[in-house]
Amino acid sequence: MTEIEISDEIMGKKFIELAFDHCIKCSTCKYSYKEFMMSCPSGEKHLFESFWASGRIRTTRGLILGELEWNDDIKDVIFACPTCGACMDACQAPHADYIVDIIESLREVAVKEIGPAKNQEKLIERATNPEMWNPYGEPNSNNNDLKEEYNLPDKAEWVYFIGCTSNYRQKSLRDATLRFLKKANIDFTLIDEHCCTSPMLRTGQVEKCKEFMQYNIEKIEETGASKVITSCAGCYRTLKKDFKKFGIEFDFEVLHTAELINDLINENKIEFKSDFKKKVTYHDPCHLGRHMNIYEIPRAIYRSIPGLELVEMERNKNHSWCCGAGGGVKIGYPEWSLEISEKRLREARETEAVILSSTCPFCKTNLNDANEKFNFGFEVLDLIEIIDGLEYKVKN
């Protein structure tokens, strides 16, 4: 076994190097810091050091330095992790904010050495197919029909970046967002999107990422937009944070739908005219919460809705338990993905809420899949879908 040369072509080179020096295996990453609650879906599933963050960092070091052998037996150690970031939140070492980057960078090298996890290659095969351009294998929608339906211009101040999950799997969420933007008098348009690259990045299959990023940037710039809004937590993190890793620069502002709604409420531009007399519990999407530190904005919106009773699960905000869909786990380990989600649903049931809500279409998909499989009986709704069902007045 020989040391792997980490060439400059590896996008995560600087993150790989962080794995070498700082982790002292203190085990803080195994539980929510100071709360001592289970936090790592991968570690709790396998109960073996290699599946905790500290073990993965050690594995990274061993593989790169040639102390461990690259083979298929090590694939689960590398890929069976939803990269939820709970370890980042708990870790107290200098590399804490980069643990997920280290794991994703290791995956980038692993794809070159031994290939991706089972089924994850489908994400690339579909997304790079010129008839699809999305990881779901659906015929590409250039969104022209939606532009016509909602009478949208070619040039606008905003672009609504729908995202593949909303456009091909959660159309009710997409349509609720479109209706809200129209009613709120937002000057927006749509583009012929290609995948934002989040599925590629999370699974280490990064070869085409820069090409996809540049394409989406060009399409956005063609509209003259100065702001981009998305209702997908994964798209939000990717556009706002990951593009920078590839040296992709742009001049427009990126917002999540929740940020816009919160701004409109704070500016007294929205007045709710109907009640929502139901008990709701909120699931923090990992990509919006731990990855981007947005916790209070969605909660402020829920609390502003008349009649809505917001109740918290035991693990919430930075201590939230992952929905189980991210990091390529949904396609690579589908049964385990639902097991992770089932644990979250059990927590939700303890609140006696009738609605489980989130602000991410991917979370909604996996939570609802588990909800149906395990017969929990929740109504699973995105925040924007709740607002879409209300009567509200928009003030200029």
SS (H, E, C) 369-396: HHHHHCCCCCEEEEHHHHHHCCCEEECC
**Cβ distance 271 to 393 under 8 Å?**
yes
Q: Which two tokens stand for residue 195?
A: 């995948």
Structural domain including 282 reads 272-394
CATH number at residue 361: 3.40.50.1860
Query: Residue 18: what pLDDT?
Result: 75
Tens-digit pLDDT profile for residues 216-265: 999 999 999 999 999 999 999 999 999 998 989 999 999 999 999 999 99
Q: What is the CATH number of the domain that holds 178?
A: 1.20.1050.140
H or E element in which residue 279 lies: strand 279-282
Tell whether 5 is covered by a domain: no
* 312 and 242 within one domain: no
Write down the pLDDT at residue 282: 99
Residues 17 and 72 in one domain: yes
Whether residue 213 is found in the same domain as residue 194: yes
Query: pLDDT (tens digit, 9 = 90+) per residue, 276-285?
Result: 999 999 999 9
What is residue 106's predicted lDDT score, i.e. its pLDDT? 94
**Could you tell me if residue 4 is inside a domain?**
no
Residues 87 and 144 in one domain: no
What lies within 8 Å, CB to CB, of 47 at 6+ separation is none
* pLDDT score of 349: 98
Low-confidence ranges of the chain (pLDDT < 70): 1-12
DSSP label at residue 240: I
Same domain, 133 and 253: yes
Residue 61 is encoded by which pair of tokens?
A: 């070091």
Read off the DSSP letter of residue 49.
G
Q: Distance between CA 2 and CA 301 in Å, rounded? A: 54
Q: Of 113, 138, 167, which residue is a domain's last?
A: 113
| 2 in any annotated domain | no
Report the pLDDT value the prediction gives residue 274, as an integer from 0 to 100. 97
Query: Do residues 156 and 248 both lie within one domain?
Result: yes
CA 339 to chain CA centroid, nearest Å: 18
Burial class of residue 136 (count of CB atoms within 10 Å of its CB; 0-12, 13-18, 19+): middle
Q: How many separate domains does the chain show?
A: 3
Shared domain check, 150 and 28: no
Alpha helices (H) along the chain: 13-18, 41-46, 53-64, 75-79, 86-90, 99-113, 121-127, 144-149, 164-168, 171-183, 198-202, 209-222, 233-237, 257-266, 296-304, 329-332, 334-350, 361-373, 383-388
3 lies in some domain? no
